[in-house]
Amino acid sequence: MKNIRIGTRDSQLAMWQAEWVQSQLTELYPHLNFELVSMKTKGDKILDVPLSKIGDKGLFTKELEQGLLNDELDMAVHSLKDMPTLLPPGLIISAFCEREEPRDVFLSRNGVPIEDLPEGAIIGTSSLRRKSQLKHYRPDLNFMDLRGNLQTRWRKLQESDMAGIVLAAAGVKRLGWEERITQILPEDMMLSAVGQGSIAVEIDEKRSDIAELLSGLNHIATEKAVKSERALMRKLEGGCQVPIGALGQVVKGEIILRGMVASLDGTRLIKAEAKGTDPESVGIEVANRLIEQGANSILAEIR
């Protein structure tokens, strides 16, 4: 029986996602054997520094991509959110799996939603995107850097004097932690990260055999939405380490894309929106509208 190697990081969330891809493929192709190969990435090893300070693109993807290029892996499963907008030459995303809830959630230690937290409450997050938007909404809030996998972040919340933490709903749901969610943050308070909630499967562009297997996992509406978000990000030259939010939604085949750029202190926050059918042009249009409103000067300050 043919053996197909699926690469993944070894965090509990990454393993859940890779196992999900494995089970979908096994169901579609019961005569093939899909094997998981787990590895640690640089982003899993450096845990004491906020991602924005490491400033390295592909922190969670490089080792897996090396595996694809060296023919040690046949495919690599990633959270799309962790993937740079430009892939290494020779690699492509072969499937954008159907998106889970894209929004962020607040996990409050005492069950108190963000709007009712006491003045000066401390929120755990290292994400510039989450901090800037929360600062904009409530300038009195304080922040504590928080990295590590979801288990680590939950444990740190219990052990510290933080009021709560902000996480992607998708990860929280995949780990079965729904009951820990205090609130889903609405898009006008917290626009999610580019690609958030979608699982992407990356392959060597020469492996048309693998691409064929994966065609059954691609979800067209998700693909359109996240491609528009990634086009916006590419135009603004952001990584996941800048305060940019974007959410595309496909309604009757048309993409509606909203984008947001904020300053770190939350005093400036700009938004733009556009509609269309071509992901690339919708993404660029929203990016240009953000640039017209001063996005580049906000981003230049941060870089």
Ligand X SMILES: NCc1[nH]cc(CCC(=O)O)c1CC(=O)O
Q: Is 82 a catalytic residue?
A: yes
Taken as a whole, the chain contains a residue count of 303
What sign results for the dihedral spanned by CA atoms 261, 266, 270, 273? Answer: positive
Q: Which helix (H) or strand (E) holds 232?
A: helix 220-236
Note whether 170 binds ligand X by CB under 6 A.
Answer: yes
- Other beta carbons within 10 angstroms of residue 287's beta carbon come to 27
Note whether 84 binds ligand X by CB under 6 A.
Answer: no
Amino acid at site 193:
A
Minimum CB separation from ligand X for residue 144, in Å? 15
CA distance 205 to 223: 17
Q: How far is CA 31 from the centre of its chain?
A: 33
Which of 82, 140, 145, 209 is the catalytic position?
82
Minimum CB separation from ligand X for residue 226, in Å? 11
From the list 75-83, 110-118, 134-142, 267-275, the region that binds ligand X by CB under 6 A is 75-83
CA distance 276 to 250: 10
Note whether 225 binds ligand X by CB under 6 A.
Answer: no
CA distance 154 to 106: 12
How big is the site for ligand X, counted in residues (CB under 6 A)? 9
One-character DSSP codes across 113-165? -GGGSPTT-EEE---HHHHHHHHHH-TT-EEE---S-HHHHHHHHHHSS-SEE
Contact string 242-281 vs ligand X (x = CB under 6 A): ----------------------------------------
**Contact, 123 vs 166, CB < 8 A?**
yes
Note whether 167 binds ligand X by CB under 6 A.
Answer: yes
Nearer to ligand X, 123 or 284 (CB): 123
Minimum CB separation from ligand X for residue 228, in Å? 17
- Other beta carbons within 10 angstroms of residue 166's beta carbon come to 23
Nearer to ligand X, 164 or 274 (CB): 164
From the list 114-122, 135-143, 162-170, 260-268, the region that binds ligand X by CB under 6 A is 162-170
Minimum CB separation from ligand X for residue 206, in Å? 27
One-character DSSP codes across 16-79? HHHHHHHHHHHHH-TTSEEEEEEE--HHHH--SS-HHHH--TTTTTHHHHHHHHTTS-SEEEEE
Minimum CB separation from ligand X for residue 126, in Å? 9
Note whether 168 binds ligand X by CB under 6 A.
Answer: yes
From the list 77-85, 132-140, 254-262, 269-277, the region that binds ligand X by CB under 6 A is 77-85
Q: Which of 58, 59, 75, 81 binds ligand X (CB under 6 A)?
A: 81
Footprint of ligand X (CB under 6 A): 79, 81-82, 167-168, 170-171, 196-197
Active site residues: 82
